[in-house]
Amino acid sequence: MSRIADVEVVGPHTLAVTRQGDGRDIVDIIESFGPFAPLRDPEAFAEVRLMGWGDGIEWPALGLDYSADSLAALAGR
């Protein structure tokens, strides 16, 4: 399982996801999965944070999350 070391908002719907020992990916979260549409609100999107031990990222107020493995697949890894 991949682990995430850091996550940073770099665009309106785009995150830079830094993996532990495996580089950095730029991913568009909203375009990939319809239920993430509430993240079109920039303030809500900016609330992204790491989950657990880097197992994924989450937006707790919205009940949305993305696993590290799903983010890797989204980035084409």
The pLDDT tens digits for 1-18 are 678 999 999 988 889 999
If pLDDT is split at 50, 70 and 90, which confidence band does 44 have?
very high
Sorted by where each starts, the structural domains of the chain and their CATH numbers stand as 4-74 (3.30.2020.10)
**pLDDT surpassing 80 at residue 72:** yes
If pLDDT is split at 50, 70 and 90, which confidence band does 62 have?
very high
Three-state secondary structure of the chain: CCCEEEEEECCCCEEEEEECCCEEEEEEHHHHCHHHHHHHCHHHHCCCEEECCCCEEEEHHHCEEEEHHHHHHHCCC
